A and B are shown apart, each in its own frame.
Chain A
Amino acid sequence: MSLKKSISNLKLPHYKSTAGMAAVRMPIPKEVLIPLSPMNAHHATQSEPIVQVGDHVTVGQMIAREKDRGASHIHASVSGTVTGIEPYTMGSGSGTAIRIESDGKMEKCPDLKIPHPTNLDEFLQCVRDSGVVGLGGAAYPVWAKLSAAQKTHISTVLVNGAECEPFITADHRVMLEQGDLIQKGIELLKEFMGSEEFIIGIEENKPDAIAQLTERFKDDKAVKIMPLSSVYPQGAKQVLLYNATGKVVEKGQRLASLGVIIINVSSLVKMAEYFVTGMPMVERIITVDGSAVKEPKNLIVPIGCSVRDVVEACGGLKEEPGKILFGGAMMGKTQESMDARIMKATNAVVIMNKKDTKKTAPSPCIHCGRCVAVCPLGLNPTAFARAMELEDDAARAALLQKEQVKVCMQCGCCSYVCPAHRPLAENNNAGIGFLRKWEKEHPEGGKN
């Protein structure tokens, strides 16, 4: 292993003005449109609707069933009538979504029961029933992640409370307001997975959360609260793992094979909540912020509500929007309209005004090396840029392979620091896309 110090080093403006704002419940929306797939490019999979147009549904009632590990059970987030099962597109993803017109009553599903698992398999089944997915953005079902414990002993659970993205304070609020559920979640994992070590990694820009959780777990030897320096991307899997444990997931390796899993603190809490209330995942805390939002807030929102409803709950917009992001300012995904829907893994809605959206035209690379110095994984984005300029596909693929573009996790540090304003992260992504396609077409590795 060559890299030793904290491998991320980018100091970003935090813009975490909502950190002190307790999460408030938004008014019941008139309708929700719940997408049946996690809507990211890698998981094309989606869940199967089990309700029909005209059906009456209640909060927590299952409305779509997962078909495989990539998707999750979907539950009604409001009570009311199913008015449509329709196509839905979002960014690069497309699929089906269920529209429910709310009756305004938020009537709870009468069939919900508090689960009492007795062994790991039952526990995993319960987590599966809860519909909880990775809430940090990956949206990978939590039960599928935890199921690694069936094959490998998971000795260490790394609870990710870094929340390194600018603007977002949703996890911060969860840590402050739902400490008892964090405790419950840890107890569940201890009981059913037999994990011995729990590390809650929190960036030091959240001293109140660090203090509260340290106090809460002061008698529990298994739980360690680990303050982390506030450098981006502290919360990225590889970075957090390395900075917290010194371990590295090598190429072709799975995190679980190191005896470690990483779970986002909000996912842990959502999972624990199911074992306390019996209510599956139908709502979450999101941060609503950005220069165009009148009153930035942390909101508790039902899954499937629109950006428009969310914004209305925040006093509306004070300026014309230039960009709507799901997620933070670094890795957030742009949305096409105010009709975009909050999904399980949406942790923030950031709406920037026109001025903040302006882009400076790129100028030639001056070889300053800032992108190389800032890359937490030790990659060279200028090499990817050079590769993408090559005309010959084989030569391009060879250079991308040699420089290992596929290691890139799209954190965006390189683009952020580039004085020439070159779209390096975007280019890395294009390189990954190109190489995946090329390798599929040349399974022999291109040696001809």
Chain B
Amino acid sequence: MEQLVMSSGPHIHSGASDRRIMLDVILALLPAAVAGVILFGIPALWVILTCVLSAVISEFLFNLIARKKQSVGDLSAVVTGLLLALNLSVNVPLWQAALGTVFAIVLVKCVFGGIGRNFANPAITGRVFLLIAFPSTVAGGALPKGIDAASSATPLDLIGVEGAQLPTLLQMFLGQRGGAIGETCILALLIGFAYLLLRKVIRWEIPVIFVGTVFLLSLIFGGFNTAVYEVLAGGLVLGAVFMATDYTTTPITARARMLFALGCGLITFAIRWFCALPEGVSYSILCMNILAPWLEKWTRRKPLGGV
């Protein structure tokens, strides 16, 4: 008799795979990456390549040394490298970019057990590590080519500064302002957002609630114009679309995810408005990453036919 497979159901599968999801995230990040290279020039490309390569190589070597199953094929290291690069200033020395990436991959992801096991977002933690270690080169947003400005201050530094020359809203939307490589071109980020929605990789709730909370609070405290600038400036859109939606470090249930996004918005606004720091997106997501398991617990629902 022929060999028949004995197994429990289901006997068909949706065809979804981790790798395909990661590939979709990479594709969704490409518009922002391309925009970054156009705006900031070829040096931006070197930062991106450095981060992606060091992410893949460090994960590969970690698995090799720790004798773990090779995992670079799932493309998640590429996502982390790419995301981190888009969060860095074009002025960052390449060795610093590489160091931050290795930190993100090895200390934040691999030692916790690899994909799916890390409690904090590797790209954000890598960025925060670099911000603290090398504040001058990482935080200072470089200005795009062809934009004349006396200083390299980002719009977030300038909002509220008397007599400061802010970029126009259109410039802000297209990315012609100071900032990290991938965070300035809102148009490119929205294209990526639309793609992720279309592919059903993420749902709209987290980005919309996150950005919406910041907008509303800024509107209340600073008026309409300020609110629009707050939304377009800094890393808010990049963070809300690509980092606050990271599966592993956000809650697993829909309701907890909404609460997560609300918390991100509140903390981002609080940091931007009340603290000395110009930017709060990274810190807010990190804080909420830690709260994620509790959010799941607090929003637990009674299953149908359960108690």
- Give B8-60 interface residues, CB cut-off 8 Å to A: 8-14, 16-18, 20-21
Interface mask (B240-253 → A, CB under 8 Å = 1, otherwise 0)? 00000001111111
Instruction: For the complex, give the distance between the alpha carbons of A360 and B7 in Å.
Output: 13
Query: In the complex, which residues of chain B have a beta carbon less than 8 angstroms from the beta carbon of A367?
Result: 116, 247-250, 252
Evaluate contact between A321 and B248: CB separation under 8 angstroms.
no
Instruction: For the complex, give the distance between the alpha carbons of A329 and B1 in Å.
Output: 23
Instruction: For the complex, give the distance between the alpha carbons of A410 and B8 in Å.
Output: 10
Query: In the complex, which residues of chain B have a beta carbon less than 8 angstroms from the beta carbon of A332?
Result: 9, 11
In the complex, identify which listed stretch (B90-98, B161-169, B214-222, B298-306) lies at the interface while the others stay far away: B298-306
Q: How far is the CB of B250 from chain A (nearest CB, A)?
A: 8
Closest chain A residue to B203, Cβ basis: A373
Evaluate contact between A416 and B13: CB separation under 8 angstroms.
yes
Evaluate contact between B8 and A425: CB separation under 8 angstroms.
yes
Q: With A338-B1, A378-B304, A382-B252 in contact, do A416 and B10 touch (Cβ < 8 Å)?
A: yes
Query: In the complex, which residues of chain A have a beta carbon less than 8 angstroms from the beta carbon of B304?
Result: 3, 7, 238, 242, 248, 376-378, 407
Among B6, B9, B306, the one with the most A-chain Cβ atoms within 10 Å of its Cβ is B9
Query: In the complex, which residues of chain A have a beta carbon less than 8 angstroms from the beta carbon of B16?
Result: 370, 417-419
Cross-chain contact of A380 among B13, B14, B117, B253 (Cβ < 8 A): B253
B74 in the interface (beta carbon within 8 A): yes
Instruction: For the complex, give the distance between the alpha carbons of A138 and B13 in Å.
Output: 24
Instruction: For the complex, give the distance between the alpha carbons of A416 and B1 in Å.
Output: 29
Evaluate contact between B247 and A325: CB separation under 8 angstroms.
no
Query: In the complex, which residues of chain A have a beta carbon less than 8 angstroms from the beta carbon of B11?
Result: 323, 325, 329-330, 332, 334, 350, 352, 357
Cross-chain contact of A373 among B5, B18, B254 (Cβ < 8 A): B254
Evaluate contact between A251 and B307: CB separation under 8 angstroms.
yes
Cross-chain contact of B303 among A330, A404, A410 (Cβ < 8 A): A404
Cross-chain contact of A321 among B4, B7, B252 (Cβ < 8 A): B4
Interface footprint category on B:
35 or more
Instruction: For the complex, give the distance between the alpha carbons of A338 and B13 in Å.
Output: 25
Evaluate contact between B247 and A366: CB separation under 8 angstroms.
yes
Instruction: For the complex, give the distance between the alpha carbons of A91 and B7 in Å.
Output: 10
Interface mask (A305-338 → B, CB under 8 Å = 1, otherwise 0)? 0000000000000001111110001111111111
Cross-chain contact of B247 among A13, A368, A415 (Cβ < 8 A): A368
- Give A119-167 interface residues, CB cut-off 8 Å to B: 166
Among B20, B21, B249, B252, the one with the most A-chain Cβ atoms within 10 Å of its Cβ is B252
A28 in the interface (beta carbon within 8 A): no
Q: With A249-B305, A373-B254 in contact, do A334 and B4 touch (Cβ < 8 Å)?
A: yes
Evaluate contact between B305 and A363: CB separation under 8 angstroms.
no
Q: With A338-B1, A367-B248 in contact, do A420 and B12 touch (Cβ < 8 Å)?
A: no
Interface mask (A63-103 → B, CB under 8 Å = 1, otherwise 0)? 00000000000000000000000000001000000000000
Q: With A366-B247, A366-B248, A367-B247 in contact, do A429 and B8 touch (Cβ < 8 Å)?
A: yes
Query: In the complex, which residues of chain A have a beta carbon less than 8 angstroms from the beta carbon of B251?
Result: 369
Evaluate contact between A2 and B302: CB separation under 8 angstroms.
yes
Evaluate contact between B4 and A369: CB separation under 8 angstroms.
no
Q: With A373-B254, A412-B9, A421-B17 in contact, do A337 and B4 touch (Cβ < 8 Å)?
A: yes
B148 in the interface (beta carbon within 8 A): no
B271 in the interface (beta carbon within 8 A): no
Query: In the complex, which residues of chain B have a beta carbon less than 8 angstroms from the beta carbon of A350?
Result: 11
Summarize A's interface: helix, strand, loop or mixed. Answer: loop
B212 in the interface (beta carbon within 8 A): no
Evaluate contact between B306 and A426: CB separation under 8 angstroms.
no
Instruction: For the complex, give the distance between the alpha carbons of A333 and B10 in Å.
Output: 9
Q: With A369-B253, A419-B16 in contact, do A248 and B305 touch (Cβ < 8 Å)?
A: yes
Evaluate contact between A366 and B21: CB separation under 8 angstroms.
yes
Interface mask (B74-99 → A, CB under 8 Å = 1, otherwise 0)? 10100000000000000000000000
A391 in the interface (beta carbon within 8 A): no
A26 in the interface (beta carbon within 8 A): no
Interface mask (B269-307 → A, CB under 8 Å = 1, otherwise 0)? 000000000000000000000000000000001111111
Evaluate contact between A322 and B5: CB separation under 8 angstroms.
yes
A24 in the interface (beta carbon within 8 A): no
Cross-chain contact of A322 among B1, B4, B257 (Cβ < 8 A): B4
A55 in the interface (beta carbon within 8 A): no
Query: In the complex, which residues of chain A have a beta carbon less than 8 angstroms from the beta carbon of B114?
Result: 364
Instruction: For the complex, give the distance between the alpha carbons of A223 and B1 in Å.
Output: 50
Evaluate contact between B74 and A363: CB separation under 8 angstroms.
yes
Closest chain B residue to A323, Cβ basis: B5
Query: In the complex, which residues of chain A have a beta carbon less than 8 angstroms from the beta carbon of B21?
Result: 366, 368, 419
Evaluate contact between A407 and B17: CB separation under 8 angstroms.
no
Query: In the complex, which residues of chain A have a beta carbon less than 8 angstroms from the beta carbon of B74?
Result: 363
Instruction: For the complex, give the distance between the alpha carbons of A365 and B76 in Å.
Output: 13
- Give B229-249 interface residues, CB cut-off 8 Å to A: 247-249
Q: How far is the CB of A173 from chain B (nearest CB, A)?
A: 22
Among A364, A379, A407, the one with the most B-chain Cβ atoms within 10 Å of its Cβ is A364
B228 in the interface (beta carbon within 8 A): no
Closest chain B residue to A407, Cβ basis: B306
Among B11, B250, B252, the one with the most A-chain Cβ atoms within 10 Å of its Cβ is B11
Q: How far is the CB of B235 from chain A (nearest CB, A)?
A: 23
Cross-chain contact of A323 among B7, B13, B307 (Cβ < 8 A): B7
Q: With A407-B305, A419-B21, A421-B17 in contact, do A366 and B253 touch (Cβ < 8 Å)?
A: no
- Please provide the 9 A-B residue pairs with the shortest distance between their CB atoms, ordered closest to farther: A412-B10, A419-B16, A404-B306, A364-B116, A369-B252, A407-B306, A378-B303, A377-B304, A368-B247
Instruction: Please name 16 pairs of A and B residues whose Cβ atoms are closer than 8 Å in the assembled complex, sorted by A.
Output: A2-B302, A250-B305, A323-B7, A329-B9, A329-B10, A334-B5, A367-B250, A369-B251, A369-B254, A377-B304, A378-B301, A380-B252, A404-B306, A410-B9, A419-B14, A426-B7
A12-B12, A320-B2, A366-B247 given; 20 more Cβ-contact pairs under 8 Å: A7-B304, A13-B12, A242-B304, A324-B4, A325-B11, A330-B9, A330-B10, A332-B11, A350-B11, A364-B114, A365-B116, A366-B115, A367-B247, A367-B252, A368-B21, A407-B306, A410-B8, A419-B14, A419-B21, A426-B8
Please list the residues of chain A having a beta carbon within 8 angstroms of any beta carbon in chain B. Answer: 2-3, 7, 12-13, 91, 166, 238, 242, 248-251, 320-325, 329-338, 350, 352, 356-357, 359-360, 363-370, 372-373, 376-380, 382, 404, 407, 410, 412-413, 415-421, 423, 425-426, 429
Please list the residues of chain B having a beta carbon within 8 angstroms of any beta carbon in chain A. Answer: 1-2, 4-14, 16-18, 20-21, 74, 76, 113-117, 247-254, 257, 301-307
